[in-house]
Structure formats: C-alpha cells, structure tokens
Chain A
C-alpha cells in the first residue's frame, strides 16, 4: 500500500496508542468523580490539555476540548449573538473570483445586505465546509481569493465595516495546502481595532483560524498568528479521530452548543474524552519533535514527485504546506484515476476528498479560477509518515503509466 492521502486521515502512531491504552482499561474513571483514582485521571487530563495548549503557545485554561475540528469551528462562531441574526436556509451565491478577467456573478454589497447578509462575519471563500456552512448560516460575507489561493487582502479591507465582529481565515487550506498570511491579516485587524478605539466604537473584532490542516507542518503560536480563536485537531497529526480543540483568547466570549454537566468551562458539556485527549497530547508532542525533520523530508519528496511525474499542471505553486501536491491532468476524470490507482494499492484523493463524495465541484478549485475540466482532473497527493522515499519513486511510475493509458484511451474514443 502506498498511502498519499494524509490530509484526509493519518494512522494513530504507536506511541500515541500506547499512551492512550491505560485510560481505556485501568484509568477509566470519570474525572468528575470524588475518589482518588478519579482525581488522578482528572489531573492527567488537565496535564494533557496543558501539553496541547503549550504546543500552540497557550495555557490549558484557554482550550475547549471538542469532538474534532468541525465542532470547534462551529463553537467559534458562537461569539456572534445568535439572537440578533436570523438563520438562512437557502444560500446559493456563485463564488466570487478575482484576477481572471472573466465575468463572474458578484453580488453588490447592497444586494447582499438586502438579502440579510451582514459584514458582521467575514470568511474566506475557500474555507472548509465546517466554517463555510456555519458562516453562511449566520449570513456572513465571503472574502475573495487570488488565483494563487491566497486571500485578497484588498477585498478583506474593503469588506470590513464597523459592524464586523468575526473574521475566519484558515491557516492552511485543506484542498490546496495554501498557507494564508495570518500575520498580515492580524496586522490589518490591529490597525482597524486601534482606529475603532480612537473613534469610540466598542464593537469587538476577532480573528478565527482553522489550523487543523497545518498543525504538524507549521510552527504554530497563537500570539504570533494574532488569532483570538484557533481550531486544532488530533486526527490529522497521527492522533485519534474525534478529538479537537478550540483555543479561545480572553477577548472572545463563546456560548455553549452543548449543555449539561458544565465541563470545559461550561462551554462543552459531556464527560471528558480522557484517552482521546491523552492521545492528542502525545501526538502533538511528537509532531513538535519531528516538525523540522518531516518538513525537510516532505519538501524533498515533493521535488522528486514534481520532477518525475509527467503530463501534469501544478495547481498550487507557492505558499503551500510541504506535504501538499495538487496536480491537474487536463481532460482526465480524476475519480477514475482514484479507482485505477486503488487497484495498484495507491490511495489518493481527487481535488477535494470531501467535495468529491458529495458529487459537487470543489468550491475551492472554482474560487481559484480552475475550469470545470481542470477541476474534474485534479488529484491531491498529501505526503506523510507512512511514506518512504522508495514509495515516492515507485508511485511516480505507477501514476505516469496510468495517465498514459488514460490519455490513449481518450484518444481512441
């Protein structure tokens, strides 16, 4: 098996599994219970949270543990007072594209406001559905991206009004691996905050970032990123699935989505997922330890792939995570490639694994201006710890052969 879909899921590493095991069998106690063994479990849980928090430059008390990144993203949006904003069920605006010289339907600001949209929430058009759907639900407005996949900072500045309270921009995109310039965004926000203060405007301006795709590939520090809310996730860093966390700065005031026993500062009730959090802590520890080595390794394998593969167009060239390669084979149906590669024991994703299974064209690839044909022919390869350099050489041969066959098959028809 050659697995090249580490952005979709990673295997739990052996050390992580070992760390978790006692908490399934021996130390299974409810951390809220009164007796000593339970107290010890509570202590281990808090310690593990501390490790996770420390890895992103935060404190344990800043973290709300959730059941994954999706929940963390949903929770982040509760900084908006829901009562003030009705929810919208039908939303079908065409994505807004810049810099392509094509005319794309772009609703005017007034039109948007009339339909109940508001600049209180701004989000990047290429966000993962767990941000995009929530933002749409609140009537948020999308910020454009440049054909490079990077945020259009002019568009961001134009769309921020005195009403704007939350801006959500993922640190690295899940389909392209594009790394957004968070420091620049934070700089803009800082200036606007100062200006608001000068003018006596009290509306908060918060920055949320979904960092789940970047956690094991970038050195993440909440202060340096300038974020108020940060989503992280264990499942993509060789930890268990179903465990995530939201970093919350003191400025951001959330509302719980789940009520009950008042765990996680009352913001996320439910008995703590002790083994999950222990595993998350171990995984993030290991990630930090191997960060630089892995980055170098992936970057060199990436080079091998790009030089040995043939007939492709590279979709994302700059500002991307080291383990991301998005290729475009014009005229070829990428879903067929996935099945053909599967037969050879090679597992890859189409342009966007999530989008493909829903039968809709990737909104991300659309937003950076790819044609329908290019989207249909896009393949996402994401490198990871299961790979070896030998595999990389092997896989280029397998892919090249399949592509050659597909092109000759198409020619025949």
Chain B
C-alpha cells in the first residue's frame, strides 16, 4: 500500500506534490498526461515544455516517469462535449469534465492497473472521512485525513490508516480558500477519490512556491497557467472560431426587438455578459452610460438579445434549476445552511436545495447555463449540478 502515481503537469503544484510524497516515503511514479498538443493560431501549445518541466522534476527527485497519451479520449470526452454544449447555446466547463473523465477516471484506472495504491494530483483540495449519521439526514464532523504536511491542518494519518465500516470518504475544501479547486472536482468518482491524495491541499499557495524554491525545483518560477488548459491565453472565443462555424447575426433589445448591433456568432456570447458587445444603435439611446447585458440567445435565428433592465428574469434570479445532479455518496444537502459556489473562486453563497433547484434568500446574478453549481456543507463538498 505504498505506491503512488502522481499526475505531473510540469507546474509547481504537482511538482511539489511529487516531492512531498517522495519525502513521506511513498514509492512515487510520475506521469505526464498528454491530453492536448495542438497549436492554435497565435498560440503555441506549451505541452512539450510542460512535459520537459515535469520530466526534469522527476529526474531531480529520482522517480520513474512516463508519458501517458490520452489525446484521443480527451478530444472525445472533453473537447467534443465542450463544443456540443456551446453549439446548444450553453457555456460548459471543460475542466470539470476533464477531471471526471480523464484524470480521475482514465488516469486513475490505468494507474491502478499498473500497480498504484493511490493516485495524486496537485489540486488544492483535501480528502477526508465522515461518520454516517444513521438518523438519515445530518452529518457528523468529518475527520480530515489529508496528507498535508502543514501544521495548520488537523491530520490523522494517511487515508489508508482509517477504516471504519460506517465512515465514507469525502471531498473537502482546500485550506487555501483562495486556491480551492473542489469546484472542478465535485463530479469525480467516489472510488477514485478514496484512492486519491492531494498533497498540497493542506497548504497555502505561497508555502508551496517557497518549498519549491527551497528544494531547487525550477517550476517555482514558472508562470501559472490560467483558464482552460488547451485554450490558454488565446481565449475561448478564438478557440471556438477554429472549431465551430458561425455566421454574423443581429443583436436586439429584448423589450423592443430593435436591432442595436451585430455579433460574430451567437455561440460566442454568454447570458449575463456585458463586455465585448459592439452596439451601434442610435446615439442617446444606446450610449446613455447604462450597460447592456446579454439576456437571451435565439440560436435557430442566430439572434443575441440584450437588455438594460437589471430586473430581467434571465439576469437576476432567486432560483436556479439544476440538471445532471450528482451527490457524493452518503451525502445529501439538508437544512437551510448549505453553501453554494457558482464559479471557481467565487464566494460561497447560503442557499436551500429542494431536490431540483437551489433557492437563494437574495437575488443572485444568474450564471450561464452549462456552468456548475457546487454545494457544500461547511467544508465538505456534497456534490452539485449543472445549471439548466
């Protein structure tokens, strides 16, 4: 029970993860998952440099290192899903899909088959355990069992040391609230989670960087990658332009049906968006200083509707209907005190869940359809769903 396969991206978080596991005495194997290598116009895909960075760390730590090629599966399960959703008018989150289908499924399964007792990644999240409350609805305080070395975390050894028939694995928010990545992890399988270690989940990001520097890992100086990995700095719009054929169309004011401007393709717009709208309506009517928001997309007619009315039902809402609801095993949101996160790093909002929809005490700005709402009780991630 001592072999850990670490997904190494070449970044500082997964590099430090491998380092920590090695220091804790695990037999560590580094794996670079090759998911995407295609260049985009104006952007060179950095996969080869990332791979070299990961390999250098593996060599430095003296651990075996392999490249696992998931490009075909990634294209099918993540990219195609993403493009399909955009074509339907939704705004999907490919990172959530990537964790669900690639990192915590294909990688997990392949690692286990290769002899791994655990997998590890550089995500900011923790694995804990909780005791079942047999009255059926509540939760007892979780026992946090992350492998974090930080003293700020209550640890009770590694996951393998806890075994209780009435306790289950659970996903816990990271200690560094600013970096918490459970939003991207809420749909990963229970089995994978039970065999996962998040070595940096109990640490603050600056600690991780400092440790990398102290240990001479060059990744400490690497620029952090932002956004969807394969889209990178070019941005989603330019990526979609390469893969989805679009036609220019009208931007209309929803209340009046008046044409205020033109767009490059309705799929590029997200409900709630206020930037990047090029409206050329009559002076004094459009340019009165009040912003227009995208409130509706009519894909069959390729029309984007905008409004200045902040009370528009598509902009500010009390309720959010969820689809493809996924709750982590043994966990159900109960009572009025659940917390919801609507975007990565967005604040946690108190809400109620009635089994189908989230109900908020105060109106919230409506997230785009296709995005996820992730539900927490205290620091436990209960699951979530995709916003309809």
Contact = CB atoms under 8 A, between A and B. Distances in A.
Interface of A: 335-336, 339-340, 342-343, 356-360, 413
B37 interface: yes
5 contacts: A336-B59, A342-B56, A357-B48, A357-B49, A359-B48
A24 B89 CA distance: 58
Contacts of A335: 52, 55
Interface in B17-62: 37, 47-49, 51-52, 55-56, 59-60
A339 B60 contact: yes
6 closest Cβ contacts across the A-B interface?
Answer: A359-B48, A339-B59, A339-B56, A336-B59, A358-B48, A340-B59
Contact of A343 (B47, B48, B52, B60): B60
Interface size class of B (residues with CB under 8 A): 10 to 19
B293 to A, nearest CB: 39
Contacts of B56: 339, 342
B59 A359 contact: no
B66 to A, nearest CB: 10
Nearest to B50: A359
A360 B64 CA distance: 22
Contacts of B59: 336, 339-340, 343
A357 B50 CA distance: 10
Given A335-B52, A343-B59, 8 more contacts: A339-B55, A339-B56, A339-B59, A340-B59, A343-B60, A357-B48, A359-B37, A413-B64
Contacts of B64: 413
A343 B62 CA distance: 12
Nearest to A340: B59
B40 to A, nearest CB: 14
Contacts of B37: 359
B367 to A, nearest CB: 37
A182 B65 CA distance: 44
Interface of B: 37, 47-49, 51-52, 55-56, 59-60, 64-65
A360 B47 CA distance: 11
A406 to B, nearest CB: 10
B52 A357 contact: yes
B101 to A, nearest CB: 24
Nearest to B216: A343
Contacts, number: 25
Contacts of A336: 55, 59, 65
A360 B49 CA distance: 11
A359 B47 contact: yes
B51 A359 contact: yes
Contacts of A339: 55-56, 59-60
A359 B64 CA distance: 19
A278 B324 CA distance: 69
A224 B89 CA distance: 67
A335 B48 CA distance: 12
A342 B216 CA distance: 13
A347 to B, nearest CB: 13
A358 B48 CA distance: 6
A297 B120 CA distance: 51
A369 to B, nearest CB: 24
A235 to B, nearest CB: 22
Contacts of A413: 64
Nearest to B37: A359
Of B47, B48, B64, most buried by chain A (CB within 10 Å of CB) is B48
Nearest to B51: A359
Contacts of A342: 56
A154 to B, nearest CB: 36
Contacts of B48: 356-360
Nearest to B57: A339
B96 to A, nearest CB: 27
B171 to A, nearest CB: 34
Nearest to A341: B59
Nearest to B52: A335
A413 B65 CA distance: 12
B97 to A, nearest CB: 25
Of A336, A358, A359, most buried by chain B (CB within 10 Å of CB) is A359
Of B51, B52, B65, most buried by chain A (CB within 10 Å of CB) is B52
A137 B207 CA distance: 49
Contacts of B51: 359
A306 B59 CA distance: 26
A340 B49 CA distance: 17
Contacts of A358: 48
A218 to B, nearest CB: 33
Nearest to A355: B48
A1 to B, nearest CB: 16
A76 B71 CA distance: 39
A329 to B, nearest CB: 15
A140 to B, nearest CB: 22
Nearest to A405: B62
Nearest to A358: B48
Nearest to B48: A359
Nearest to A350: B52
B310 to A, nearest CB: 47
A336 B56 CA distance: 7
Of A339, A342, A360, most buried by chain B (CB within 10 Å of CB) is A339
Contacts of B52: 335, 356-357
A356 B55 CA distance: 13
Nearest to B56: A339
A342 B52 CA distance: 13
B48 to A, nearest CB: 3
A367 B59 CA distance: 30
Nearest to A343: B60
Contacts of A340: 59
A357 to B, nearest CB: 6
Of B51, B52, B56, B59, most buried by chain A (CB within 10 Å of CB) is B59
Nearest to A360: B48
